[in-house]
Amino acid sequence: MKPPVYGVMAEFESPGALVRATEAAVAKGYKKLDAYSPFPIEELNDALHLHRNKLPLIVLCGGLCGGALGYLLQYFITVIYYPINVAGRPLHSWPSYIIITFELTILLASISAVGGLFALCGFPMPYHPVFNVPRFALASHDRFFLCIEATDPLFDRAKTSEFLETLEPKEVSEVEH
């Protein structure tokens, strides 16, 4: 069953206030929460334990695939599919493969970095409930938001709102679906 609201959101005026509030909410035991800010705040990663993500692994795999693809493509074409004997030079002339192998490593690693970023963030995402809060438009401007989601086991519409009020926010509002 879908909970009646998406969550409860509090608005703050400074990055410090947001970090303090996030730390307090985590300390209180909330797990399903997210903080929104107009620029990256390193301390939020500490508060929400976001230091590790899968992106480096994705990029490594992409790069390895690109390198293998580049080398094998050239090997296949120059040795098997379309061998040309130029003044008796070996068909498998690996030094001249280096550049294209390198370029394709970078190309596929970069594409997987961007693809991985989109996958980890769930992009493209045409709809998200947080935008139903009118003041949330300021999250990309100069305000800082903390949202505790209804899927959290500790979530209770009234109690969570009350808790957020104790953190001295500018405003607390409910997030409709």
Partner 1 sequence: MADQEVVERPAEEQIIAPGYSFASVTDQIAAVVLTKHTPVFWFATFAAAMGLLLLFLLAVGQLFFLGTGVWGLRNPTFWAWDITNFVWWIGIGHAGTLISAILLLLNQRWRNSINRFAEAMTLFAVACAGMFPILHLGRPWLMYWLFPYPNTMGIEPNFRSPLVWDVFAVSTYATVSALFWFVGLIPDLGTLRDRAGHRLLKIAYGALSLGWRGSARHWASYETASLLLAGLATPLVLSVHTVVSFDFTIGIVPGWHSTFFPPYFVAGAIYSGFAMVLALAIPLRQGYGLQGLITDKHLDNAAKIMMATGLIVGYSYIMEAFAAWYGGNAYEMAAIQHRMFGPYKYQYWVLMTCNVVAPNALWFKKIRRSPIVLFVWSIIVLIGMWLERFVIIVSSLAQDNLPGAWRLFHATRWDLFTFVGTIGLFTFLFFLFIRMLPMISIFEVRALLPQSKVKEEVNG
Residue ranges in 92-151 that form contacts with partner 1 under rule CB under 8 A: 93, 96-97, 99-100, 102-104, 106-107, 109-111, 113-114, 116-118, 120-128, 130-131, 137-142
> Rounded to 5 degrees, what are φ and ψ at 167?
-90, 10
In angstroms, what is the minimal distance from the CB of 11 to partner 1?
13
In angstroms, what is the minimal distance from the CB of 131 to partner 1?
7
Q: Which is nearer to partner 1, 92 or 159 (CB)?
A: 92
Q: Which is nearer to partner 1, 1 or 52 (CB)?
A: 52
CA separation for the pair 12, 132 (Å, rounded): 18
Q: Two tokens at 164?
A: 């957020």
In angstroms, what is the minimal distance from the CB of 50 to partner 1?
4
Cis peptide before 56 (omega within 30 of 0): no
Q: Which is nearer to partner 1, 159 or 177 (CB)?
A: 177
CA separation for the pair 148, 169 (Å, rounded): 14
**Per CB under 8 A, 36 contacts partner 1:** yes
Q: Which is nearer to partner 1, 104 or 155 (CB)?
A: 104
**Per CB under 8 A, 39 contacts partner 1:** yes
Q: How far is CA 145 from CA 15, 42, 86, 93, 173, in A?
A: 9, 15, 66, 58, 11
Report the phi/psi class of residue 168: left, alpha or beta, with left for phi > 0 and alpha for psi in -120 to 50.
Answer: left
Q: Which part of the chain contacts partner 1 (CB under 8 A), choosing from 4-12, 37-45, 148-156, 157-165?
A: 37-45
